[in-house]
Structure 1
Amino acid sequence: MRRRLPAVLALPVAASVLALAAGPAAAQVETTPVPAPGNPGAPPASAPASPQPLGHAVGDAGTGLAVIRVLPNSTPTKAILPGAADKLPKQAAVELGFGLASAQANSEAYLAYEKSIAQASPGGIAVQGSSPQAPGSLAQTAPPNNEAPLTGGINPPSTPLDTLVKVGALNGSVSANWSDALGPCVDTISDASTSIASISALNAIPTLPGGKDLTGAFDAPNLDEAADNAVVEQLKNLAGPLSTLGGILGGQGSAGGGSVLSLPNTLSARSVVKLVDIPGSPNKAVQSTSTLQVAALKLLAGTPFEISINVVSQPTLQVTSTGDAATSAVQYTAPVLEVTQGGKSLGRLDAANPKLDIPISLPLPGADDLPGLGDLGKLPIVGNLLGDGSPLRDALSKDLQKLDLGVLRLAVAGLNQTGAAATQPFKGYQLGATARMVDLQVLPTEALGLPNLPSALAQVSLGEQVARAYAPEGGVVCGTASAPQAPPAPAPQGSATPQLAYTNAAYHSVPLFWTGTAMLLFGVVLVAALPTRRRKTTD
């Protein structure tokens, strides 16, 4: 059992889990590459002598509870091949992922303990596509097989990024299994789960100005100079700068304590890779599953504009590869979200209605003079409510004028899947799919006359899911190859090596010394054993 992945696995695991929004690539899991011989003419590494499993299986599943993207689609994607970067979609300048669960299986891994990997991580970060190692993770690898899963808390520390996101306590569980004789033919190859008690994302919008005085910077294309100046003066009256949406959010300079998105209840994610039965065949299919469990979400919680998103249907993504395109399949249960504000429905998000826009407006000068509306100049207008919680339609009936500065766009991300036949490292069929439960984007409108604004100011994705599976033709064979026969002893070649000639008298020195010593000892014993004769004396 290993509690942490070695450094060689930290980067590919963090990067693969964090890049969940990208299209499903090949099902091959990122593992340590097979090293080439130091001498180009040297033979490859020898095959192991012990019996080997017959089954070949590759699959992975990844689930992210929340991923925040600052300046999405703004940074060119790096590529090794010349000209490939121009054809790839752009990525976010900064990506933050929280509550990540990754399960991987790869029978073709070069290192033994990479065949099954389960990891639960409190989070990860990618800056312009580069992802460093994420500390505080739970990880388990196999082989050797693990009798019990590894569980524990993975509490993220406080960081300067708290203005973007604040995460509460997380709990994780990881289980990796592999059989020495049957390989992937175990109950569950890899299983990882993560749960988070609370999260608040986008406590500020860093891509909007942090100051309230926008004199000389604000220039709306549909307003004249006098109207621009009037809007600038109205922005000065807000409770906070635009980076806090006029004081609604809890970032620096805000009078409130809200966040764009928060979770009042526990959100959990689980990723599993295992083998399942193929009907009418003794072989197995590779199945990767990503599941989410969440009850409700909140937008602008604790503010007069609070919006509730109730999750009516939980999303589940499952990819199964039998090795044949005709019988391999992707099964996806799309989420159904009910959006309400002030006790009234704003709309429903599902496959038939994938988008919902909630405008963010600025009450124009003169709104304070409208009878019964109170001091409206301190907060903007979000959705169908004013800053004091009263319905917008009542104010519009009294000739309230507003300017739409931005939009909160909710979207159910559709399923994206790819599949292809493959021949390496074995002949079979690979299938992959990605999906997201809900995307929340902060979009500027043309009326927000600030220079160099991106198309999207920020993006929060909840429930990012990816699953990939790759099985050989006919399915995974569960069995053990016979032990290889020991090679016969090589036959002698040519004549025997002749005895070398003696070229020095030292070759005889030691034998002569010991021979002489033995003869001397024998003589002493012989003399001592003979009887002593007494000499006769004469008187």
Structure 2
Amino acid sequence: MRLLALPGAVAVLVLAAGPAGAQPTTPVPPVVDPGGPPASAPVGVRPLGRAVGDAGTGLAVIRLLPNTAPTRSIIPGAEDKLPKQAGVEVGFGLASAQVNSEAYLSFEKVIAQASPGGIAVQGASPQTPGALAQTAPPNNVQPNSGGINPPSTPLDTLVKAGLLNGQVHAQWSDTLGPCVGTIADSSTELASLSALNAIPTLPSTPDLAGVFDAPNLDPAADQAVVDGLKNLAGGLSTLGGVLGAKSALLSLPNTLAARSVVRLVDIPGSPNKAVESTSTMQVAAVKLLAGTPFELSVNVVSQPTLTVTSTGDKATSTVRYTAPILDVVQGGKSLGRLDAANPRLDVPIGIPLQNPVEKLPIIGDLLGNGQVIPTGLSKLDLGVLRLSVAGLNQKGEDSTQPFQGYQLGATARLLDLQVLPTDALGLPNLPSALAQISLGEQVARAYAPTGGVVCGTATSTPQQPPAPQPKGPQLAYTNAAYHSVPIFWAGTGMLLFGVVLVAALPRRKRV
């Protein structure tokens, strides 16, 4: 399966590259004979419009061991400069809309795709079965839609999704090219989702004797933590027995929808058009630790929308982002609000250092029996659930390839949920983050020629191939052997003609 979204940090770095080169289209083959005719040349009516843009929206991406695997690159020395990727990435629901008027193959000028899900290991990802896709040209009058119910797999402990529906629409005019309004439109809708019924990067056994050694604790304190973990209902991989078959770290009780659109819009005071790429999300609420005494509800007050518009000029090209507003509630009490001014909220995960009433840890301000932590209870925080809204990252630059213009791109996320260890979690070889779930990854890029996209047609005539060049000097005749071959064939032809003539004449009877 194919991964639904790339890590946002890596995506921001590639924004500086030409969007035409970022499109997953067939590369232009190199020229073998500079004096030969082109591989293909338009004949007759040819669209004048040139536009490049894409928008991608991923519903959910789960990353294990984030920022631990090197990012591969075909550019020498680039791997050391690019941020590291996750060891394993699993995702669901990608809506991708791509436009590239410069694509080498005609049917790759517009690609609208909705993918059900995918997995990548250290950045490598196989193809996705069951994806919906539509390409243009030729033009498609109606969109293509369908649904898929992902089967049960061994990855269900990481992520389990319900029915997913998708719709894709790719349009292109034979005479006006991209000047059709909405060029590419893709959407996905996910009925339900649960992620991380266990955290495989943590040990599953509750007995960590001989393994646990916190650097900031003395041996007696280490032993107290080990004894406290033994009293819990499960190992750290289930957060002490909180996670399981019926309880996941994150779940979506309502429909989650994503949409990506690339279209042309009017430029005020100009007959030309601008390239606009838009990524939108629709989600009502997210549940953390649903069905447990520690359940947290993340209510989405404001939906995120990312729109990138390129007019071909830096002064008038824009990035518009409606940042999400999230309210975090636990046990009917608000823990805080996530927005652009307050982008992060930490929920501690600890264990009581006395025998607990319930064999469960302490998450937030609640005990395993659902009561508020009493005053004077001694506890130790071993981890943190970190909720954050990813801020907007954008980058733009003037470009000359494949045409003179201005390109602009941006990325954002609705919600990041990270499981982080504290210094008190004395386990060897732990990464800085144990797991990460990203909801609503958004990427949008647009690239237009200077002055905007020209909507019109031109007439092209077929190019004549160049005259053949002599391959070398002609040799002089040096003996009669050069004349023997034509004389032989001339004599043979006359002989055959005589045989046919004699056979055709009537014979006279002898008297």
Same fold at TM > 0.5: yes
**Aligned pairs for 1:10-49 within 5 A:** 14=2, 17-24=5-12, 25=15, 26=17, 27-28=19-20, 29-38=23-32, 44-49=38-43
Residues 17-56 of structure 1 deviation map (CA, whole Å, 9 limit, x = unaligned) = 4445533323222311111245677554242323221010
Distance 1:484 1:341, change over 3 A: same
Task: State the SS of the aligned residue for 1:502.
Answer: helix
Distance 1:159 1:18, change over 3 A: farther
Matching residue's letter, 1:341: Q
Instruction: Note if 1:379 corresponds to 2:360.
Output: yes
Which of the residues 281, 287, 297 maps onto 1:298? Answer: 287
Alignment match, 2:476: none
Alignment match, 1:431: 408
Alignment match, 2:48: 54
Alignment match, 1:464: 441
Distance in 1 (alpha carbons) for counterparts of 2:344 and 2:462: 64
Residues 220-279 of structure 1 deviation map (CA, whole Å, 9 limit, x = unaligned) = 22322122112212211211110000000116xxxxx21111000000000000111111
Matching residue's letter, 2:439: L
Matching residue's letter, 1:310: N
Given that 1:357 and 1:408 are in contact with CA atoms closer than 8 Å, whether structure 2 keeps it comes out as yes
Which of the residues 182, 186, 209 maps onto 1:192? Answer: 186
Matching residue's letter, 1:144: P
Distance in 2 (alpha carbons) for counterparts of 1:263 and 1:16: 18
Matching residue's letter, 1:91: Q
Distance in 2 (alpha carbons) for counterparts of 1:35 and 1:83: 25
Matching residue's letter, 1:437: L
Which of the residues 231, 235, 249 maps onto 2:225? Answer: 231
Alignment match, 1:483: 460
**Aligned pairs for 1:73-222 within 5 A:** 73-222=67-216
Distance in 1 (alpha carbons) for counterparts of 2:414 and 2:360: 30
Alignment match, 2:307: 318
Distance 1:16 1:79, change over 3 A: farther
Alpha-carbon shift at residue 81 of structure 1 (Å): 3.1
Matching residue's letter, 1:227: A
**Aligned pairs for 1:219-368 within 5 A:** 219-250=213-244, 257-365=246-354, 367-368=355-356
| TM-score, normalised relative to structure 2 | 0.91
Given that 1:51 and 1:484 are in contact with CA atoms closer than 8 Å, whether structure 2 keeps it comes out as no
Alpha-carbon shift at residue 451 of structure 1 (Å): 1.0
Task: State the SS of the aligned residue for 1:413.
Answer: coil
Given that 1:21 and 1:435 are in contact with CA atoms closer than 8 Å, whether structure 2 keeps it comes out as no
Given that 1:136 and 1:156 are in contact with CA atoms closer than 8 Å, whether structure 2 keeps it comes out as no
Distance 1:220 1:173, change over 3 A: same
Matching residue's letter, 1:416: N
Residues 147-195 of structure 1 deviation map (CA, whole Å, 9 limit, x = unaligned) = 1111001222221111111111100001111111111111311111000
Given that 1:177 and 1:190 are in contact with CA atoms closer than 8 Å, whether structure 2 keeps it comes out as yes
Given that 2:55 and 2:98 are in contact with CA atoms closer than 8 Å, whether structure 1 keeps it comes out as yes
Question: For the aligned residues, what is the CA RMSD?
Answer: 2.3
Residues 472-517 of structure 1 deviation map (CA, whole Å, 9 limit, x = unaligned) = 00100111111326759989x9xxxxx9943243202333233334
Number of residues of Structure 1 aligned to a counterpart in Structure 2: 489
Distance in 1 (alpha carbons) for counterparts of 2:271 and 2:217: 72
Moved more, 43-52 or 186-195: 43-52
Distance in 2 (alpha carbons) for counterparts of 1:16 and 1:230: 43
Residues 193-213 of structure 1 deviation map (CA, whole Å, 9 limit, x = unaligned) = 000000001111111001111
Moved more, 22-31 or 280-289: 22-31
Distance in 2 (alpha carbons) for counterparts of 1:113 and 1:16: 23
Alignment match, 1:506: 492
Distance in 2 (alpha carbons) for counterparts of 1:453 and 1:199: 28
Alignment match, 2:428: 451
Between the aligned residues of both structures, percent identity stands at 69
Distance in 2 (alpha carbons) for counterparts of 1:77 and 1:99: 23
Matching residue's letter, 1:381: I
Distance 1:502 1:19, change over 3 A: farther
Alignment match, 2:474: none
Distance in 2 (alpha carbons) for counterparts of 1:144 and 1:341: 53
Task: State the SS of the aligned residue for 2:496.
Answer: helix
Distance in 1 (alpha carbons) for counterparts of 2:466 and 2:71: 57
| TM-score, normalised relative to structure 1 | 0.87
Task: State the SS of the aligned residue for 1:330.
Answer: strand
Alignment match, 2:473: none
Moved more, 71-80 or 292-301: 71-80
Given that 1:138 and 1:173 are in contact with CA atoms closer than 8 Å, whether structure 2 keeps it comes out as yes
Distance in 2 (alpha carbons) for counterparts of 1:296 and 1:220: 37
Runs of 4+ with >6 A deviation = 488-491
Distance 1:192 1:488, change over 3 A: closer
Distance 1:20 1:513, change over 3 A: farther
Distance in 2 (alpha carbons) for counterparts of 1:40 and 1:480: 28
Task: State the SS of the aligned residue for 1:23.
Answer: helix
Distance in 2 (alpha carbons) for counterparts of 1:463 and 1:81: 30
Given that 1:20 and 1:64 are in contact with CA atoms closer than 8 Å, whether structure 2 keeps it comes out as no
Matching residue's letter, 2:29: P
Matching residue's letter, 2:172: W
Given that 1:100 and 1:194 are in contact with CA atoms closer than 8 Å, whether structure 2 keeps it comes out as yes
Distance in 1 (alpha carbons) for counterparts of 2:467 and 2:432: 73
Distance in 2 (alpha carbons) for counterparts of 1:155 and 1:247: 29
Alpha-carbon shift at residue 103 of structure 1 (Å): 0.4
Distance in 2 (alpha carbons) for counterparts of 1:50 and 1:509: 54
Matching residue's letter, 1:272: V
